[in-house]
Structure 1
Amino acid sequence: MIPSFFIAHGAPLLAIEDNPYTQFLGTLGRTLPRPKAIVLFSAHWESAVQRVSDVDTYETIYDFGGFPEALYRIQYPARGSQTITEDIKDLFTKQGIPFDVETKRGLDHGAWVVLRMLYPEVDVPVIAMSVNPKLTPEEQYQIGKSLAELREKDVLIIGSGGTVHNLRALKWAEDEGQVDAWALGFDEWLESRLQDWDTASLFTYESEAPYASQAVPPYGNEHFVPLFYAMGAADDGQTAKLVHRSYRYGNLSHSVWQFG
C-alpha cells in the first residue's frame, strides 16, 4: 500500500531553485511506487466546507507577489481524475462528511511547487483538496482517515504545508543553515509525538508543544493542519517516519513525513 505524506512546500522560490531539498523531492518522486493519482490537501486553499476538485485540466495559480518573473512563467497543467473524485465523494457521503465539488479552481503554489518536483512530467492525475484550519485537529484527522482506503488503489495522499511556518519570524538574509532554537524545539517535540502516534498530545499541540505559538502562529495555522489530513489517511498503519528535515531563513522548516 502506498504511504501518505506531509510535505513542506516552503517559499515559492523553491520552484526555481536547485538545493538539497529540491533534489530530495525529485528523488522521492522517482523512488515511490507509481501512483494512480494524487489527492493533495493544500494550505493555500481554505474553505469552511471540504471542497473536492473535479477538473479536467488545471490552470496554474500564482498566488504570490514580488518574486522573479521566471516563477510566473511556470505551468503545471495537471489533469484531474473523475473516477477518483467520484470515489472521494462516495467515501465522504458514506461517512457523513459534508463537501462541495469545485469544477473551476486551478492549482495553487502549495500544490504545484511540490507536484512539479515530484512529477515534473505532469503525467499523474491530481485531485486538489481544501483544508479548514478552523476544524479541530481530530476533525481534520478524521477527514484524512475517511480516505484511507484510496491508498489501497495506489492513490498518493499528500498534505502540503509546513510544520514551522511563521512569516513574521523569517530572516530572509540568513540562509546558511542556522536554525532558531524555538523552531528546532517544536519540530523535535513533534517528531517524538508523531513517531509514537500520540494523537492525544498532537491534537492538543497548542497547549502541549513547546514554542507552539511561534511555530504555528494563530494567524498561520493553515500550513500546519495538512499534517493531520495526511496522518489520518494512514490511521490503519499508524507508523510515522521523518524522511527529510532542513531549514531556511532561520526557522522555515522543510519537513517531509511519511505515514504508513
Structure 2
Amino acid sequence: MPLTSAPVMFIGHGSPRWALSPGDAAARLQEYSVFFNQVKALLVISPHWITRGMQLTASPEPETIHDFGGFEEALYQLQYPVAGNPDLARHIQALLQDQGTEVSLNEQRGLDHGAWVPLLHMLPDHRIPVIQLSLDAASTPESLVVLGARLKRLRNEGVAIIASGSLTHNLYHIGDEHGSPLDYVVRFQDWVRSRVIERDIPALSKPHLNSDDFSAAHPSAEHYLPLLIAMGASSEADQLSVLESPVLYKALSMESYGWR
C-alpha cells in the first residue's frame, strides 16, 4: 500500500486540438504529475464514452481512439500506447458490484480523446496502466457523487481517479483559440471554483438552480458531470490544488483540480 492515497483529479480537456497546442494548461498538469510517482494505475472517466449501463475497459492494450473529425492530419497520427489492466478492471467491477453498482467489462473499447489527450500532457511516458469507466446515460448528479465515494477506496490501493470534462463547454460560442473569454464563462468558472473550495457538493449537484450561467456554459451537461465523481472520490482531508489555466476558444475553460 502506498504511503499516501493516490490523487483524484478533475481535468478540463478542452478541444482535441489541445493535443497539438499544449500551452499553460498542459504545463499545470505536468507540474502536478509529481504526485503520481507512486500511482499504480489510473481510472479515467470521460464524457466521450456514455453507455446504457456502466462499462469498464478490460483490454490489455487499449487503442488510442480518434473520436473527432475535421482537424489537421497530425492529430490523427498521435498515439498514447499505454497498457490496460484486465485484472484490475475485474477487481473494480467486483468492488462496485459489492456496493450495489452494476458494471460490465468491455474488452474491445480503447481510450477516447477525453482520456488520452490530458494524459499525453501529464504522463507522456505512458508508464502507468489506464482503465476507463463509462458514464451511464441514466446517471443523476446524486448517483455520480455516490459513484465517486464508492471508488474512493481504490485510492488506498494506489489507483488514481481522473474525471475528465470541462467547466464550460458551449461549442456554439467557440471563437479564436486565444480570444478573450466570454463573460458567462468567467463567471461560471469562478462560481464552480468557489463551490469546489468550499466542498459545497449540494450546490455543485444542482448548478442549474444555483448559477444563472449554467445553461449557457452547458447546453448539455455531460462535460460538467465528471466533476461530481471527483467530488465524491475526494475528501475534506485532501489538499486541494486549483490548476488555473487560460480559457481557450473564448468558451472552453481549461481549469483543473487536484486532490491529494
With the length of structure 2 as denominator, give the TM-score of the two structures: 0.93
In the alignment, is residue 223 of structure 1 matched against residue 226 of structure 2?
Answer: no
- Does the 8 Å contact 1:41/1:130 carry over to 2? yes
Give the length in aligned residue pairs.
Answer: 256
In the alignment, is residue 202 of structure 1 matched against residue 204 of structure 2?
Answer: yes
> In the alignment, residue 245 of structure 1 is paired with which amino acid?
S
Q: How far does the alpha carbon of each residue in 1:83-127 deviate from its partner, in whole angstroms, 9 at most, with x for none?
A: 321221121111100111111011111111011111111211001
In the alignment, is residue 132 of structure 1 matched against residue 136 of structure 2?
Answer: yes
> In the alignment, residue 67 of structure 2 is paired with which amino acid?
D
Match of 2:127 in 1: 123
Match of 2:44 in 1: 40
**Unmatched runs of 5 consecutive residues or more in structure 2:** none
Deviation of 1:54 after TM superposition, in Å, equals: 0.8
- Does the 8 Å contact 1:29/1:117 carry over to 2? no
Match of 1:258 in 2: 258
Q: How far does the alpha carbon of each residue in 1:137-172 deviate from its partner, in whole angstroms, 9 at most, with x for none?
A: 11011111111011111211000110101101111x
- Does the 8 Å contact 1:30/1:118 carry over to 2? no
With the length of structure 1 as denominator, give the TM-score of the two structures: 0.93
For 1:257 and 1:23, the matched residues in 2 are separated by 14
> In the alignment, residue 233 of structure 2 is paired with which amino acid?
A
Deviation of 1:18 after TM superposition, in Å, equals: 3.8
Match of 1:28 in 2: 32
Deviation of 1:3 after TM superposition, in Å, equals: 2.0
For 1:231 and 1:199, the matched residues in 2 are separated by 7
For 2:147 and 2:236, the matched residues in 1 are separated by 14
For 1:226 and 1:75, the matched residues in 2 are separated by 24
- Does the 8 Å contact 1:195/1:241 carry over to 2? no
In the alignment, is residue 180 of structure 1 matched against residue 182 of structure 2?
Answer: yes
Deviation of 1:244 after TM superposition, in Å, equals: 2.2
Which runs of structure 1 show a deviation greater than 6 angstroms over 4 or more consecutive aligned residues? Answer: none
Match of 1:77 in 2: 81
Match of 1:248 in 2: 248
In the alignment, is residue 166 of structure 1 matched against residue 201 of structure 2?
Answer: no
Match of 1:62 in 2: 66
Distance verdict in 2 for CA 1:77–1:246, change over 3 Å: same
Q: How far does the alpha carbon of each residue in 1:55-96 deviate from its partner, in whole angstroms, 9 at most, with x for none?
A: 110111111111111111111121111232122112111110
For 2:69 and 2:197, the matched residues in 1 are separated by 37
- For the aligned residue pairs, the C-alpha RMSD in angstroms reads 1.7
> In the alignment, residue 137 of structure 1 is paired with which amino acid?
P
**Unmatched runs of 5 consecutive residues or more in structure 1:** none
- Does the 8 Å contact 2:171/2:251 carry over to 1? no
In the alignment, is residue 91 of structure 1 matched against residue 95 of structure 2?
Answer: yes
Deviation of 1:236 after TM superposition, in Å, equals: 6.5
Aligned sequence identity (%): 33
